[in-house]
Chain A
Amino acid sequence: MPSLITHSPILIIAIPLAAAFLTLPIGMASRKARNALVIVSLAFVVFLVFALARDISINGIHVYTLGATSPDLTIPKGFMVPVRIILEVDSMSVLMGIIWSIVALAAAIFSLSHIANETGQNRFYTLLLLMVAGGFGIMFTGDLFNLFVFLEITSISGAALIAFRTRFADAQEGGFKYIVVSAIASLMVLFAIGLLYAQYNLLNIGALAQVIQYTTLDKIALALLVIAFTIKAGMVPLHLWLPDAYSVAPASITGMLLITSHACMYAAFRVCFTLYGGMLNTPVVGWIIIIFGLLSMFVGVTMALIQKDVMRFMSYHAISQLGYMWVGVGVGLAVLGNAGLVDSYGKAAMSGGIFHILNDAMYMPLLFFIGGALFHCTGTRDFTQMGGLAHKLKWTTILFIIGSLCISGIPPFNGFSSKILIYESVYQFHPILTIAGIIVSILILASFIKVFHSAFMGAELSEYKAVKEVPRSMIIAMVILAAGIVFITLFPSLIVNWTIHPASDALINQGGYINAVTGAIP
């Protein structure tokens, strides 16, 4: 068991990768065996991530060197800088890992019925497992170029999965836009990595953080890195591709793509907080992030109000929720240079933003899955043609009510817990941010009432008389996420103390990250 925990970072990346390659031959033999392989491997990964999280909370940052004689031999004899690819898992990374593993498991269970009538299902599950492996790579790596490689793996498999249902023309268009946007963003990241390597001869994030100065080329690299991850995360005004791609994908894949954009947001925070740390001009970069967040909150919800397609509606809401997270963490970044302000409201703002990442990852995939369930039942994504579905789809209606109350920030649900953390602390920084947040919450509630009334309420329509409740595996997947929501609703302080406060401490504590890689400074 101890060696399982020691090797868990690479096992968490390797098990989905191995299962991806095994899915094709096993799938050709038996369908049930392939489904069992996918679900069992993802469930084992969930167990490993929770074990790793417990180990990190006891023992601190977990470092794993690939290919060395012992996993924590980061600097071998005779070398002065870390060599080999190093996976470095701190509390923030493992929080993202927990989110990704739970949502991946729910998405795989959802896919069991959602794509049950498609051809080429073996390739679907192969791509899904590759995407899971790629996502874990983004979250666990401590090396810039490794980040680029896993970013590309996730993007390529994500784009192939969006365009998977080749009978839909708009799915092809969404997949094309996603891969072009991802290719350009990844090339910007590669250019910035080249700029940093040219100056410092280092690729490891911890080692670079020790020697980086804020020269002109570093500023250009910072702009390229932050904007590239912002493009992939989908913030206004760089969000234009996101509704096109997320609305046409199979609903389980949309849930996973959402967590991929959270992972790219995590990569942007890793660059700002850990790679550059106190060297960068924190008020300016903080305010840039806050302005992106404000624009996203507002444009996201106002564009969502006029949509007619239910998945497009949910993706604009995803953009708006990402804005909340960026405002919270941006306030933390803006006051990073000032230790007194960090203690008084900076850390609370960052905790609010990171808690909102966790909450959003629970209710937003649930809402996407409900959109997929509606598409599965009625054959259309247009909710202006739906009506009276609450008579037949009872479970889906209850889960939709829970999801929409969570996203609007209505007490006692988990959306309210994280939003109140953000509002109370961001108010100290500048009151306009809280006011904008509350107005956006009201508009979110209004838009969900509109969808709920139009699609679920009303008399039963004659064209939907043959509609039955969604298949059982879809309900199970949605209930997994709803169970997470209920757990976080009832015990927010436990979750915050166990996972969120350590995560925001880990982001602020650049020195700890560097020491874990370079060894304690004698």
Chain B
Amino acid sequence: MEHIPFNFPFLAAALLVGISLYIIIFKKNLIKLIMGVAMLASGVNLFLVALGYRAGGASPIYTNVLERPMVLPVPQALTLTSIVINVAVLALMLTIVIRIYRHTGSLDSEKSRKMKG
């Protein structure tokens, strides 16, 4: 693990967030937009777990404890909560897109809109 630079998880999180913002802004298909939001959530979750890492750290469990510093447990709890919330959000988004498709017959964000101005 020593030859991976310390910043690599943060770079990966930034890359995930950047690609997901590109998808949300420039892709017109509603399903791709939902995938973009899912990827954004993954990027933020990765950022949360990565910020708790301590070099050479052990899991934050008090059974058979090793003589090493532990990684921070609180961001892992925040990430679990965030994963559960994002599952609910994605399920709701997919349900509404199914309804939009049944009403308008199109999955394009420009062709399926009825309201403007």
Query: Is there a contact between chains A and B in the complex with CB atoms less than 8 Å apart?
Result: yes
Query: Hey, which bits of chain A sit against chain B, CB under 8 A?
Result: 145, 149, 152, 155-156, 159-160, 163, 166, 169-170, 172-176, 179-180, 182-184, 186-187, 190-191, 193-194, 197-198, 201, 203, 243-244, 247-248, 303, 306, 312
* Closest chain B CB from A473 CB (angstroms): 29
| CA A176 to CA B30, docked complex, whole Å | 10
Cβ-neighbour of A184 out of B37, B74, B100, B115 (below 8 A): B37
A190 and B115 in contact, given A169-B103, A169-B104, A203-B74 (Cβ under 8 angstroms)? no
How many of chain B's residues have a CB under 8 angstroms from any CB in A?
34
- The answer on a CB contact under 8 Å between B103 and A197 is no
Within 8 A of A (CB), among B30-88: 30, 33, 37, 40-41, 44, 47-48, 51, 72, 74-75, 78, 81-82, 85-86, 88
Cβ-neighbour of A159 out of B33, B92, B99 (below 8 A): B92
Cβ contacts under 8 Å, B41 to chain A: 183, 187
Main secondary structure of the interface of A (DSSP, over half): helix
Nearest residue (CB) in A for B90 is A183
- The answer on a CB contact under 8 Å between B33 and A180 is yes
* Closest chain A CB from B38 CB (angstroms): 9
In addition to A176-B97, A187-B41, A198-B51, 5 A-B residue pairs with Cβ atoms within 8 Å of each other are A155-B89, A169-B104, A176-B96, A183-B40, A191-B44
- The answer on a CB contact under 8 Å between A152 and B85 is yes
Q: Would you give 29 A-B contacts (Cβ < 8 Å), ordered by A?
A: A149-B85, A152-B85, A152-B88, A152-B89, A159-B92, A159-B96, A166-B99, A169-B100, A170-B115, A172-B100, A173-B115, A175-B96, A179-B92, A179-B96, A180-B33, A184-B37, A184-B40, A187-B41, A190-B44, A191-B47, A194-B44, A194-B47, A197-B74, A197-B75, A198-B51, A203-B74, A244-B115, A247-B115, A312-B115
Nearest residue (CB) in B for A244 is B115
Cβ contacts under 8 Å, B48 to chain A: 190, 194
Nearest residue (CB) in B for A247 is B115
Cβ contacts under 8 Å, A191 to chain B: 17, 44, 47
- The answer on a CB contact under 8 Å between B92 and A156 is yes
